[in-house]
Amino acid sequence: MNEFCGHCGEPVDARDHTVCERQLVMEPPRFCTSCRRRMKVQVHPRGWSAECVEHGTLTS
Amino acid sequence: MHVRRTSDARPAYVPVSGHPSAAPVAAVTLLGVTDILERARTKVLDGGEGLSYDELVEVLQLPDEQVPELLELAHAVRMAHCGPEIEVEGIISLKTGGCPEDCHFCSQSGQFTSPVRSVWLDIPQLVKAAEETAATGATEFCIVAAVRGPDERLMSQVRDGIKAIQAAVDINVACSLGMLTQEQVDDLKDMGVHRYNHNLEAAKSYFPSVVTTHSYEERWETCEMVRDSGMELCCGGLVGMGETLEQRAELASQLASLDPHEVPLNFLNPRPGTPFGDLPIMGSADALRTIAAFRLAMPRTVLRYAGGRELTLGDLGTRDGLLGGINAVIVGNYLTTLGRNADDDLELLSDLKMPIKELAKTL
């Protein structure tokens, strides 16, 4: 279960993240959902990758 | 004689998709002075001359009920002076984030508390991105870096990247690396850069409200050097940043006077943490009026849909813009945000019977 919002980095149970979820359709996550670190994100023409130094790389 | 409606109440915008020949509204005012659409038809469509600043202000003030007729005219201008082809381009961020400049719309500025982290792309990834772009039928691949201007490290990376792309992919390479010196302009041309992007971003009168770390004149200077070098100049801007209609017309006029080969038109996508992060998203009717006005200012220029169209126009509005003056698109994702699915855009172009420009025709 995710502890943090990938869009705003706030704890998922701190507030409603419906707007963040909508944003995540149009942009990659910027925060690691496990540790809240800002990730290194690279957007490609047909996808993206997001790297957390602690938790590895996510890809679209 | 038709009479223009004088009611202040503007009806909701009615999309024109599938109805490019929507019923014309007024052609002539009560005073017998031809209205702006009729004058634009004569001057731009028949004469091939762009509208003046004052005329563009009139276009941008047209009521929503006249937007379909305006789009129809802008589309006719595009077809008459540019033809039916659409130019397709893909873009990639070579160096993301950590920019020293303070462009208030940009999440890559190091001066704001944006969540975007600094990251560099390596050459194999750059080539892969060029291959993905070429697979869509695109003829242009633009390498972008978030910098004030390129240093030697970046120029070296670009040089190596272009060499690797040219060895692997049949596509024109464009660059967007910020402000240049004359020596850098010459170097990029020697590397085989086909087109260079450097936007004015905003009208001269609004620029100080958008950027404070460099001047409009510095941007203009780079644009002139690029244009004079023989590389194609790609120069546009953003709308929906809180500027007035007059300043939108001013931007179009200033771009027309610069005479770029291509104008990318961006709609503000308010990014968290930036000074413009809380601005409202531009309305679709305003966006479509702007597209048409830019086409009527620059009848022969490549006018490209760039960032923000997904939010501002959605699927239906995207179609309307393609039938309202646009003749180029960025397919796939942008630098830090995601675009419409490339396959959806290509399907839309096919539905609209707009052929994609072939590489041979761009050389």
Chain A residues closer than 8 Å to B115 by CB:
9, 30-31, 38
Chain B residues closer than 8 Å to A17 by CB:
none
Nearest CA in chain A to B116: A30
Of A8, A45, A48, the CB nearest to B90: A45
Q: Which residues pair with B144 in a beta bridge?
A: B93, B176
* Cβ atoms B241, B103 nearer than 8 A: no
- Among B63, B75, B76, residue whose Cα is nearest residue B26: B63
Which tokens hold the place of B82? 């540019």
Tokens 């890809």 sit at which residue?
A59
Chain A residues closer than 8 Å to B90 by CB:
45
How far B59 CA lies from chain A's nearest CA (Å)? 32
- Among B260, B259, B316, B261, residue whose Cα is nearest residue B287: B316
Q: What is the ipTM of this complex?
A: 0.92
3-state class of B278 per DSSP?
A: coil
Listed in sequence order, the DSSP H helices in chain B are 36-40, 53-60, 67-81, 123-134, 152-168, 182-191, 216-229, 245-258, 284-297, 309-312, 314-322, 342-351
Chain B residues closer than 8 Å to A41 by CB:
96, 116-117, 119, 336
Mind listing the pLDDT tens digit for each residue in B220-241? Answer: 999 999 999 999 999 999 999 9
**Does residue A39 sit at the B interface (CB-CB below 8 Å)?**
yes
- Angle among Cα B194, B334, B309 to the nearest 5 degrees reads 105
How far A18 CA lies from chain B's nearest CA (Å)? 16
Chain A residues closer than 8 Å to B338 by CB:
25-28, 43, 48
**Does residue A17 sit at the B interface (CB-CB below 8 Å)?**
no
How far A22 CA lies from chain B's nearest CA (Å)? 11
Residues of B with CB under 8 A from a CB of A: 90-93, 96, 115-119, 121, 125, 128-129, 132-133, 136, 272, 310-311, 331-338, 342
How far B253 CA lies from chain A's nearest CA (Å)? 32
pLDDT, averaged in runs of 10, over chain B (363 residues): 37 45 45 79 97 98 97 98 96 97 97 94 96 94 98 97 97 98 98 98 98 98 97 98 98 98 97 95 97 98 96 91 97 93 92 87 54
Which tokens hold the place of B286? 């305003």
Q: Do A42 and B115 touch (CB under 8 A)?
A: no
**pTM: predicted TM-score of the whole model, two decimal places:** 0.90
Interface test with A, best of B336, B340, B341 (most A CBs within 10 A): B336
How far B298 CA lies from chain A's nearest CA (Å)? 29
**Does residue A8 sit at the B interface (CB-CB below 8 Å)?**
yes
B250-285 in b/e form (b: 16+ CB < 10 A) is: bbbbbbbebebbbbbbbbbbbbbebbbbebeebebb
Return the pLDDT at B203: 98
Return the pLDDT at A2: 86
Total beta-carbon pairs less than 8 A apart between chain A and chain B: 63
* Cβ atoms B270, B276 nearer than 8 A: yes
Chain A residues closer than 8 Å to B335 by CB:
43
Of B115, B334, B342, the CB nearest to A43: B334
Q: Do B96 and A39 touch (CB under 8 A)?
A: no
